[in-house]
């Protein structure tokens, strides 16, 4: 009797859908995602959309930080660049949403490459500080370049449409989000098993050694920044189109930290981890909102305690995961899966 999942060649080892069970469960899950909007209410669909944007953004950051090892404290800035690019293209130049989206991604990728240039000279701590500076510089630009961004008054964005079909409610937008999440996850999952993905991991593990075995650091580090920012730009453009309004307040430093928290809680260097982390980190504030509503109902005046709770829980989850489970939720998931895979003969 086979008592394990053995791979006999590299091809099998690199397969995305490793076994018939995986295919079965994924199909089932996908069908669930398709019927989901018909059973959920507005609020749950709103949260689902938010989770979707967070997944796209978190995968982008994980490709850069988790796979390539370049720490970025400025992810919110790239999300902001994509969001503003899309908003300005739509409202100023009359681009349709669908065309503005790839442009938003490309402009954001360009910004990412610019910020990535210091990564060729500095790394680790210094790069982290450079991206932190980028975050604040971009925030400053969003507020002060008023002729373009309209400053703190913000820009209103019309909903996307195909012909006469308008995507303005949560339910209609869900389809757009779902499409891009599936596309984003699929691309990233393929990328990490390609030549480029292996180069990223080699750079993370030891960049000098990677260079010596023939990996072009210049090219791959900048590619990592570009791809990561492209994802961020798409996430940002989708997000603000969904919200129908964009202001500089949407992209504070705390958002960058939130994205980093997502990939740490989910698992660095794991696509599945980014998804888990995005779900976890998006649900927590919503759960707190819900709790605060409940408290407001039963003990009015006491709900104020929940305002700072969000930051405390973000901080706590970062600290606790780093100390007790550095590989994140993805690792917990793997352990559970492995336990049941060979159950009851797990030896």
Partner 1 sequence: MDILLQIIVTGLAAGGVYGLIALGFVLIYKATSVLNLAMGEFMTLGAFVCFTALTQLNAPFYLAFALTLFLAFFLGFVIERLILRPLIGEPIISVIMITIGLGLILKGIMYMIWTPSFRTFPKIFPPKPLDIGFAVVPSGLLWGFIFAITAMIIFLIIFKFSRTGVAMRATANDQQAALSMGISVKGVFALSWSFGAIASVIGGIVIGNIIGISVYMGDVGLKVLSVIILGGLDSIGGAILGGFIIGILENLTGLYLDPIIGGGTKEVASFFILVIILMIRPYGLFGKEIIERV
- Name the residues that contact partner 1, by CB under 8 A: 65, 69, 71, 117-118, 121-122, 124-126, 128-130, 132-134, 136-137, 140, 143-144, 206, 208-209, 212, 257, 260-261, 264, 268, 305, 307-312, 314-319, 322-323, 326
Task: Give min distance, CB of 283 to partner 1, in A.
Answer: 18
Residue with tokens 């969001």: 83
Helix extents (H) in 244-305:
253-266, 271-298
Query: How many Cβ atoms from other residues are within 10 Å of residue 135's Cβ?
Result: 25
Q: From residue 191, how far is each of 129, 167, 187, 195 by CA, in Å? A: 28, 30, 6, 8
3-state secondary structure of 165: strand
C-beta neighbour count of 347 within 10 angstroms: 5
Side-chain-facing half-sphere of 53: CA atoms under 13 Å: 27
Give the nearest distance from C-beta 68 to partner 1 in angstroms: 12
Nearer of residues 172 and 286 to partner 1, judged by Cβ: 286
Within its chain, how far is the Cα of 2 from the centroid? 38
Query: With respect to partner 1, which residue has the nearer C-beta, 233 or 328?
Result: 328
Cβ closest to partner 1, residue 232 vs residue 257:
257
Smallest gap, in angstroms, from Cβ of residue 110 to partner 1? Answer: 17
In the complex, the smallest distance separating the C-beta of residue 201 from partner 1, rounded to whole angstroms, is: 14
Q: What CA–CA distance (Å, rounded) separates 147 from 105?
A: 22
Q: Which is nearer to partner 1, 106 or 129 (CB)?
A: 129
Answer yes or no: are the C-beta atoms of 63 and 203 closer than 8 Å. Answer: no
To partner 1, the closest distance from the beta carbon of 156 in angstroms equals 23
Residue nearer to partner 1 on the CB measure, 96 or 124 = 124
Separation between Cα atoms, residue 200 and residue 219, nearest integer Å: 11
Give the shortest CB-71-to-partner 1 separation in angstroms.
5
- Quote the CA–CA distance of 176 and 280 in Å, as a whole number: 22
C-beta closer to partner 1: residue 130 or 227: 130
The answer for residues whose C-beta is within 8 angstroms of residue 127's C-beta and 6 or more apart is 70, 71, 72, 118, 119
Nearest distance, CB of residue 194 and partner 1, angstroms: 24
Helix, strand, coil percent values for the chain (each to nearest 5): 75, 0, 20
Residue 26 or 287 having the CB closest to partner 1: 287
């Amino acid at each position: 009797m086979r008592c394990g999942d053995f791979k006999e060649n590299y091809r099998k080892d690199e397969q995305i859908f490793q076994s018939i069970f995986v295919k079965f469960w994924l199909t089932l899950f996908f069908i669930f995602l398709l019927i989901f909007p018909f059973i959920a209410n507005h609020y749950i669909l709103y949260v689902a959309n938010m989770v979707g944007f967070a997944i796209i953004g978190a995968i982008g950051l994980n490709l850069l930080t988790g796979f390539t090892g370049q720490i970025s404290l400025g992810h919110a800035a790239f999300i902001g660049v994509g969001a503003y690019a899309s908003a300005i293209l739509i409202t100023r130049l009359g681009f349709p949403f669908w065309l503005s989206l790839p442009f938003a991604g490309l402009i954001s990728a360009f910004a990412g490459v610019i910020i990535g240039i210091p990564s060729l000279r500095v790394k680790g701590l210094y790069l982290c500080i450079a991206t932190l500076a980028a975050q604040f510089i971009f925030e400053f630009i969003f507020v002060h370049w008023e002729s373009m961004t309209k400053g703190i008054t913000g820009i209103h964005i019309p909903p996307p449409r195909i012909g006469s079909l308008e995507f303005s409610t949560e339910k209609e937008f869900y389809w757009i989000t779902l499409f891009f999440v599936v596309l984003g996850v699929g691309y990233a999952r393929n990328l990490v098993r390609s030549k480029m993905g292996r180069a990223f991991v080699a750079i993370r593990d030891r960049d000098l050694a990677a260079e010596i075995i023939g990996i072009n650091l210049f090219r791959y580090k900048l590619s990592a920044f570009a791809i990561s920012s492209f994802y961020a730009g798409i996430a940002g453009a989708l997000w603000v189109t969904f919200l129908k309004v964009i202001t500089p307040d949407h992209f504070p430093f705390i958002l960058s930290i939130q994205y980093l928290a997502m990939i740490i809680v989910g698992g660095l260097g794991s696509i599945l981890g980014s998804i888990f982390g995005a779900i976890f980190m998006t649900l927590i504030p919503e759960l707190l909102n819900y709790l605060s509503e409940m408290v407001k109902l039963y003990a009015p005046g006491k709900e104020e305690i929940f305002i700072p709770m969000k930051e405390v829980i973000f901080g706590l989850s970062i600290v606790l995961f780093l100390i007790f489970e550095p590989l994140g939720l993805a690792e917990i998931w793997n352990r559970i899966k492995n336990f049941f895979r060979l159950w009851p003969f797990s030896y």
